[in-house]
Copies of this chain bind each other. A is one copy, B any other.
Amino acid sequence: MAEIRNIRVMEQILKANDYLASALNAEWDQTRTFVVNLMSSPGAGKTSLLEATLPLLKEEYRMLVLEGDIETERDAERIRTQGVPALQITTGGTCHLESHMIDQAWKLARDRGPFDLLFIENVGNLVCPASYFLGEHLTVVMLSTPEGDDKPMKYPKAFRSSQVFLISKSDLLYALDFSPERARREALQLQPKIETLLVSSKSGEGMQRWIQLLKQQRARRFGS
């Protein structure tokens, strides 16, 4: 009986999250703000990817970054040095972002817009963020080469809920036993339409394809 009650509470939390996320999604469609939710383990290179991505899009798009972390302002500070506005959401213990956190941050930021692109960097966690839709148009899961090519099947929800799979830190492949092809195959078993890109924020490998993908996805949604 106690267990049934817990499940009900959980369902209510998830429904409230989706309700608010849908409202955000509708608002972003109106403002033509293309929103990307980026998920990965701690240290897979989410902030580094954004640091490498923003300069390549800055001329053409007005951008905003929302940084999710349990504690510290470090990531937002890193992004601001790129000249792109960034807000830090510190969850104070919660292991993922939820749409009410995004809603609060967005309401603080939107008057500084309009924004063509909004990147949400989720809390570093390959499990929990996958259960919370934040209203985004594109969900991206990132796995770094040092984590191992056997991880998609072990963290299936993150892959099932994503449209793009970034294999990061390709510059370390030479030192590791990591098969991008094996990781890609596993991801495809979980999500047959997932698109896999091999990237390195350090060497620049794959960055042009990633930028192209972002531009195409945005254009598909809103026209160019």
Contacts and interface: CB of A to CB of B under 8 A. Distances in A.
A72 to B, nearest CB: 5
B125 A70 contact: no
A185 to B, nearest CB: 15
A72 B127 CA distance: 15
Interface residues of A, number: 38
Contact of A153 (B9, B71, B155): B71
A154 B69 contact: yes
Count copies of this chain in the complex.
Answer: 2
Interface of A: 2, 5-6, 9, 12-13, 41-44, 69-72, 74, 93, 95, 123-128, 143-144, 146-148, 150-151, 153-157, 169, 172, 175
B12 A74 contact: no
A167 B124 CA distance: 18
A148 B43 contact: yes
A128 B43 contact: no
7 contacts: A5-B9, A42-B147, A43-B147, A70-B157, A72-B153, A123-B127, A125-B128
Contact of A93 (B6, B154, B157): B157
